[in-house]
Amino acid sequence: MDKLTAAKVFVDVAMSRSFTKTAERLNMSRPMVTRHVEAVEDWLNVRLLHRTTRNVSLTSAGEACLQDIERWLQQAEHITNLANTRGELSGLIRVAASVSFGYSSLLPAIKTFLEQHPKVSIDIDLEDSASDLIEKSIDLAVRISAAPDPSLIGKPIAVCDSVLVAAPHYLENVAATLGEIQIPSDLEHHECLGYKNFDRHVWHLTNLDEFAAVNITCRFSANETTTLLHAALQGMGVAVQPAYLANPYIQQGRLVRVLPEWQPKDLSIYVLYSSRKHLSPSVRALIDHLQQYFVTHQW
């Protein structure tokens, strides 16, 4: 049995804590995953994993061996890369991203990457909750955040600026009853659309050196950005939206900026990956590609 492949399978199981997840990730049968792990244990003459019907965990010997096996894999990959004069990238990359960013901005960037590297495949997991990269066998996550998970390695690739928007017909319909929105505190009297993850809805806005914290009431909330976008398009109220989503609708006249001189807090767009997980050349190349892509492609 190929020792290099067996070692890769063992490292993946050690990270995913699941024979089944590793089998899915590596496109391999579960019995084959088991045989690879058993082969590594036979070569080292030590039990590396505790196995139960519900849980997989490293033994003390497994903990001690894991980093050495990872270093060995890195050295083997380095030698392979030196011998690969063509420099072709290959393999599967699993990426996690939010629904809104993945659909509107990440897909065009990935399209150009796949065109440049025909032997690479990419699988995207779109969800707005923070994925456990190791549990879900994710190679790379793209997240919009003010403070990314400190347990992960994060590299900023772009800035996500946001805008206050509403449909023109909403503003026209409520002008007589609720008044025009001229200063931030006027938002307290209007229908606002917020994220349901927060018990209290406070919008923090800046205008040069001025700052405003506005307590808003949300009769409609959601846990996903595009839902709030379409609620705003339906005239249900004022929403904070990332510029990458809102700008096309502003250009079409279907949304207008509210308090355009006041800016919601900018967030950073990060690529995140596990500090313990070995990065393949393909993953490294995708990180570099995304950073360069968003330098030249603005929303």
At 216, is the pLDDT very low, low, confident or very high (cuts 50, 70, 90)? Answer: very high
**What is the pLDDT, as a whole number, of residue 85?**
47
Q: Give the percent of the chain with pLDDT over 70.
A: 91
Say if residue 83's pLDDT is above 80.
no
Q: Which residue, of 33, 52, 83, is where some domain finishes?
A: 83
Please check whether residue 232 is in contact with residue 193, taking contact to mean a CB–CB distance below 8 angstroms.
yes
Asked if 78 and 13 sit in the same domain, the reply is: yes
Task: Judge if 221 and 100 occupy the same domain.
Answer: no
Q: Which of 83, 100, 129 is the last residue of a domain?
A: 83
**CB neighbourhood size of 186 (10 A):** 16
Query: Does 153 lie in the same domain as 279?
Result: yes
Q: Rounded to an integer, what distance in angstroms lies between the CA atom of residue 289 and that of residue 43? A: 39
Do 17 and 36 share a domain, yes or no? Answer: yes
For residue 251, the model assigns a pLDDT of 96
State whether 120 and 209 are in the same domain.
Answer: no
Q: Is the dihedral of CA 282, 161, 244, 192 positive or negative?
A: positive
* pLDDT range class, residue 297, cuts 50, 70, 90: confident
Residue 120's domain comprises 91-157+268-296
Res 131: pLDDT: 58
pTM of the entire predicted model: 0.69
Q: Residue 152 above 60 pLDDT?
A: yes
Task: Give the tens place of pLDDT for each residue, 15-65.
Answer: 888 898 888 878 889 899 999 999 999 989 999 999 877 788 999 988 888
Q: What is the pLDDT of residues 154-192, one digit of tens each?
A: 889 999 999 999 999 999 999 999 999 999 999 999 999
63 and 99 both lie in a single domain: no
> Could you tell me the CATH number of the domain that includes residue 47?
1.10.10.10
Same domain flag for 244 and 166: yes
pLDDT at 148 over 90: no
Residue 142 has pLDDT above 80, yes or no: yes
Which pLDDT score is estimated for 80?
65
Q: What does the alpha-carbon distance between residue 244 and residue 168 come to, in Å, rounded to a whole number?
A: 20
Is it the case that residue 299 has pLDDT exceeding 80? Answer: no
Residue with tokens 């001025």: 210
Please determine, for residue 103, whether its predicted confidence score (pLDDT) is greater than 90. Answer: no
From 292, 229, 286, 239, select the one nearest 91 (Cα to Cα).
286
pLDDT digits (tens, 9 = 90+) for 239-254: 999 999 999 999 999 9
What lies within 8 Å, CB to CB, of 138 at 6+ separation is: 94, 95, 96, 125, 131
Q: Residue 121's pLDDT is what?
A: 94
Q: At what angle do helices 3-16 and 30-44 cross, to 10 degrees?
A: 110
In a shared domain, residues 14 and 150: no
Task: Tell me what pLDDT residue 108 has.
Answer: 93
Q: What's the pLDDT score for residue 253?
A: 97
231: pLDDT strictly greater than 90: yes
206: CATH: 3.40.190.290
User: Domain with 135 in it: what CATH number?
Assistant: 3.40.190.10
Averaged pLDDT of the chain: 87
> How many domains is the chain built from?
3
- Return the higher-pLDDT residue of 172 and 132: 172
Answer yes or no: do 192 and 257 share one domain.
Answer: yes
| Same domain, residue pair 52 and 8 | yes
Q: Which two tokens stand for residue 229?
A: 């976008």
258 and 276 share one domain: no
Final residue of a structural domain among 83, 110, 145: 83
User: 77 and 96: one domain?
Assistant: no
